[in-house]
Structure 1
């Protein structure tokens, strides 16, 4: 991934919690699953027919990758992460009206505590996140 200071939604960037890196035990092939928490904005179509419109949504989830060597830190993980075909694993999404994601009330509350102000302050970075990272 490449870090950019400027936000461009067309580049599909992510903001990363640099303290959240998790690395698993090596696989049989000697590779490592690693992941970090992320948030991002995306554009989505809402409605049907002539009432269809494009809206911005705020998402929370993780970026996960199988890497050849154990990453020393989150920046090393992100630098080695080069295949963005699948994007982030979205665990919650807020469109300003509706929430999609977790089923546990406490997880929903945690997500909305971050996603509501994130969407309201679009495109600013939420506190505690580093951005913008893109493939």
Structure 2
């Protein structure tokens, strides 16, 4: 991944919590699963037929990847993360009126504390996150 200062939703960028890196024990292959917490904006369609609308939504979740070497920090993890075909693992999404996610109520409230102001201040990076990272 590379870091860009300019936000373009078409490039599918992520803002990352650089303090959230988690690295697992090495697999039998010697590779390491690693992940960081992230937030991002996406376009999402809602409704059908004439009622169909395209909305901008705010998402929260993780970026995870199998790495050849144990990353020293989140920036090293992101530098080695080259395959973005699957994107982030979305845990929660806010569209301005409704929340989507299969998490506990406490986790939903934590998500909404980040996602509501994030969407209201589109395309600003939420406090505590670094961005914009893209593939």
TM class by shorter chain equals over 0.9
Give the equivalent residue in structure 2 for 1:32. Answer: 32
Alignment: residue pair count: 135
Aligned mates of 2:102, 2:14 — CA distance in 1? 20
| Deviation digits for residues 25-48 of structure 1 (CA, Å, limit 9, x no counterpart) | 000010000000000000011111
Correspondences of 1:1-135 after superposition (within 5 Å): 1-135=1-135
TM-score (norm 2): 0.99
Task: Flag structure 2 segments of 5+ consecutive residues without an equivalent.
Answer: none
| Deviation digits for residues 114-134 of structure 1 (CA, Å, limit 9, x no counterpart) | 000000000000000000000
| Deviation digits for residues 64-116 of structure 1 (CA, Å, limit 9, x no counterpart) | 00000000000000000000010000000000011001331101100000000
Aligned mates of 1:89, 1:73 — CA distance in 2? 20
In the alignment, is the contact (CA less than 8 A) between 2:34 and 2:65 conserved in 1?
A: yes
1:11/1:106 Cα in 2 relative to 1: closer, same or farther (>3 Å)? same
Structure 1 stretches of 4+ moved >3 Å: none
1:19 alignment partner, SS class: helix
Task: Flag structure 1 segments of 5+ consecutive residues without an equivalent.
Answer: none
